Structure 1
Amino acid sequence: MRTMTDVRALLKRFGTIIYTGDELGDLDLMEDELAELHHWGMIETSEYMAALRVIRRRRSELTG
């Protein structure tokens, strides 16, 4: 997992599409959704951690 497109595709596999128009807010919602998927055992730890890295990198780019 390398891009936000990959993260969105992962979430879409579970029927989750997040777009509010506020990119930072979207990143928060994506993190929350990923945490829930991981908590319930729907995604593996490695997938969860990779997605978080992508999200946190994007947040860093936006807040610079």
Structure 2
Amino acid sequence: MESSIRTMTDVRALLKRFGTIIYTGDELGDLDLMEEELAELHRWGIIETAEYIAACMVIRRRRMELDN
């Protein structure tokens, strides 16, 4: 199954589906918290592996953009 998660907006929408809204004002910190929340959702079997991997890739891509 191909995931439709391609942007940070998609990642935020995925988390929001499960009642999670992350905004601390520190974007790098937000990315860390999002990764942790996604890992928990995946570990609990709430989101599929494809969604988890796609969301993590989007987050890592954003982290690389911020590092440049």
TM-score class, shorter-chain normalisation, is over 0.9
CA–CA distance in structure 1, aligned partners of residues 43 and 67 of structure 2: 28
Match for residue 57 of structure 1?
61
CA–CA distance in structure 2, aligned partners of residues 47 and 4 of structure 1: 13
Name which of 30, 47, 56 aligns with 1:43: 47
User: Which runs of 5 or more structure 1 residues have no equivalent in the other structure?
Assistant: none
TM-score normalised by length of structure 1: 0.99
TM-score normalised by length of structure 2: 0.93
Match for residue 4 of structure 1?
8
Residue 63 of structure 1 deviates from its aligned partner by 0.7
Superposed CA deviations along residues 10-62 of structure 1, whole A, max 9, x for unmatched, are 00000000000000000000000000000000000000000000000000000
Q: Aligned residues: percent identity?
A: 83
User: Which runs of 5 or more structure 2 residues have no equivalent in the other structure?
Assistant: none
Residue 3 of structure 1 deviates from its aligned partner by 0.4
Count of aligned pairs: 64
Higher helix share: 1
Kindly provide the amino acid, as one letter, of the partner of residue 31 in structure 2. L
